Structure 1
């Protein structure tokens, strides 16, 4: 299957992308991974992307699309892929459509992971990260440490990262509403959009998404 995942920050899209890719046996292609892989391998696209990033500028769509095209052309993506974090704008969605048409490929579905804005703010703003090891993450409500402000694993100090602060989260959501949310209507008009509730246990959300994909596949 060829699937695009969309959803606001904090909806758990990254977690679900990894789980769905494993269950569907297709590669999980994320924008972040594309950038890191191309930059570390020092590909021409990687060098170009790094030049923009080092200058504090946004990487142009054509560079991101070029990376995505190269990745989707690899053998493990021949039978399908799951795109996470791309496209982010209608212009990128249009460019992706053009790319897929040139390869005689069609998307099967676009999964929109939906969660109330206040729940997203609670999820992100409640995170606390260990200063000693950023892999140790707790939540003041959903997974609090045994001792407030102290990491259960190593005893390090827990703190709130700047990008987890409520004000920052709300700004990120504003950017999402302005730049990315319009692609929901774009894909809805194509009959590809499937809305998935991002509330509940992780496994329950995964099964919800898989069930929706099976229904879409049966309908085609």
Structure 2
């Protein structure tokens, strides 16, 4: 370093490099946060960049073109990083739009899958209700047919003598009078006919 010798020269280089690095970090952070930086920050960055680039080139000047290129190269990656950050910030909306489109596609697919599952469940439920109603209808129909068949078997016989005769036959075979339901079944009569016949027979005995 011109004007500095020994330890002071190294301290000067470290100070300028630190200034350049810190200003670079501040500008990079401001770019990512979309914050405008003031003139002092850009002045520190420009001063640090120019001084660091000049000192590197001067130190390698005697080595020819290759030395000059090698000395100036380490500073340019920082500029490239700033350019990339600036480009990403400017195109942030495009990245966000693509991300949102992907999210919407996922949500739409999930909603369609959920709707299909719900429709399948409703179809199964409807099928189960139809089968249940069909079975209930068949059971009701069968019960109605049995009841109708039973009513057809019951004779409307007002002649108590016939009913009494059936009761007497049962008594002779079993040694006791039949119950009212049993007499209705064997005589094929109504409940009141069986009741009256049994009342008369039991009263006479």
Q: TM-score range by the shorter chain?
A: under 0.3
**Greater strand share, structure number:** 1
TM-score (ref. length: structure 2) = 0.18
Structure number having the greater helix percentage:
2
Kindly indicate whether structure 1 or structure 2 has the higher relative contact order, using CA contacts under 8 Å at least 6 residues apart: 1
> Scaled by the length of structure 1, what TM-score is found?
0.17
Which of the pair has more CA radius of gyration?
2
